[in-house]
Structure 1
Amino acid sequence: MLEKIQSYLEEINAFVPASGEEAEQFRIRFLGRKGIIPALFDTFKSLPPEEKKVLGKSLNVLKQAAAEKVETFKAGAGRASGQGKQEDLSLPGEPSPTGGRHPISLVEKEITAIFSRLGFNVAEGPEIEDDWHNFSALNFPAEHPARDMQDTFFIRRDPADPKADMALRTHTSSVQVRLMENGKPPFRAIMPGRVYRNEAISARAHCFFHQVEGLYVDEHVSFADLKQTLFYFVQELFGEGTGVRFRPSYFPFTEPSAEMDISCTICKGSGCTMCKQSGWVEILGCGMVDPNVLKNCGVDPERYSGFAFGMGIERITNLKYQVTDLRLFSENDVRFLSQFQSEIV
């Protein structure tokens, strides 16, 4: 009987059905009510105890092998019918769409890289500022329009004690004040960050935007240093041959002050809505740091001089990527943002 069991076991292990019908015939032949294995168990019952000890384990192995074979057939039939689809691991993976950096982040990173080549470090500060760092230390007089509610988002306003006022910063110049208060010259740093102003939202303006400001304070710093620094920046960012011009202006924290224009990158000087048909676009304000500002920050204006500048990153991004509506940068429209997905840096 042991030889018969071994022969059936070899047959079971070697059997591969060609169809579901053959698999069912196999089940009936070995495990059906009148099948081979039930018949062997009936014979097993009449054997003497000595033979049962020898054959019992082999008979159980035979039954288990047949049952597992049947279960394997059932699982295979299920996959063939789509109930348990088996993956083909040799197939290539499905492509996943890649994201990309926001255009504002791309331009901020590029601006930072350009100034870092000139030795400028990056400095940061809080977005909620007190009156001293946002206004007073920067030479803003008490009656300056920027202090009015229509221009500034105040968090706390105390007419009796303006020094206690707290507001969302209106520029990153406050970081310049903190830098000079907490260190010693020379200073050479840029200050990127988000700022807030109470302005009507349009294609050219928003109530929040991003700035990069710069500060260089040392002995014998001149306006010529400022002009050459910004000229180098423009040629690096917008390309060789980009026109640059400076116009006299006024800022409370610089004297003398200027606004810097570049030739319009959208219309190439022929005139468009971005440049207001002039062929030129103002991209930043700049000037020599006012001696009062240096004094307020604990820097000796008799020994040190410096220049400062500030630009809106959105304006730079408009010109670099020829985007005509500033609102696109904050609307999270995937159709717009997907245009920058290949520019991952």
Structure 2
Amino acid sequence: MENVDYIIVGDGYASLFFAHQLIKNNKSFVVFSEEKESASRVSAGIINPVVLKKFTTFWKAQEQIDFLKETLKEIEKYTGQNYLIDAPIHRIFHDENEQQLWLKKSSNDELVHFLDQNFTHLDLAQNDFNSGKVNQSARLDVKGFFVGLFDFLENHKHLLKEKFNYSDINTSDHTYKNYQYKNILFCEGMGVKNNPFFSEIPVNPNKGHHIKVKLSQTLPENITIKKKHFLFPIDDERYFYGGTYDREQLHHEIDSSAVEQLTNGLKEFYPEDFSVEEVNFGFRPTVKDRRPIIGRHHKHHDMYVFNGLGARGILNGCYFSRSLYDYIEKGIPLHQEIALERFTS
């Protein structure tokens, strides 16, 4: 029997950022990964402090941005890789009214550090009303992040590439197969619906498609362009464009209507020819109040859940991993806006 401080079930942003907290604090743990294409692994990796439909920000945006940069520097020390891509978002304006709204909100205390007051005209893109730059925005190298973290976990015997079987948990003895555990953390995204301990938490699937395209004329800068969706380069030839939001068509197949939506959206501002090389989709776990769900099982006090990260999986997963660690290890209460108890009490 092997003793571990933690068993982590799941392999998305919640799991890996919490694993980082354990690495920092010299805790023993194993991560169970089915190696599926989760919503995290096919995500765009956008790091964005602004809601670009309304030019507003969100709860703890600056704190989350700062903490992510700090965390990625810590991760770089043991993986040897920097996964932060300095490629700021440029939001194409639809008309003069959006320009004026941007300028008005850029003087707001919450947005002054995010909305650049100097507009930019983008080459090779239709942007008659120019674009606004989102300061402190960036991207995560999603593929590099998962490859690097998984390699580290595997090399240090923290990774188990197998399906977790709930029926093998012995809640009385605190064992799972040949592991004696202190805590189990479930970070399963929409997979939580199959979890007998936390299946009732109110997370809802939001299906997101993106396409990988080959542009006939490449864009001159490594930036992220946003109009309806995000466009940015992923290698020397291909670009990422996405993603959609769909709460209705939840089957596990590609939706032709979503692909059409994406191709039409790209045509709105990219006037040259392009070809669709690949289509992917995933199911984001979302919550009605747009806050993560974090907490302890009401009966089994060594079981925890970390879910509902939504479209801001990177920022939410990174920032609230520390909140969860401090809750478990130091007894620091969770903020009521993220606590599981807001739905169960």
TM-score, structure 1 normalization: 0.23
TM-score, structure 2 normalization: 0.23
> Which protein has the bigger helix share?
1
Which structure is richer in relative contact order (CA contacts within 8 A, separation 6 or more)? 2
> Which protein has the bigger strand share?
2
Which structure has the greater CA radius of gyration?
Answer: 1
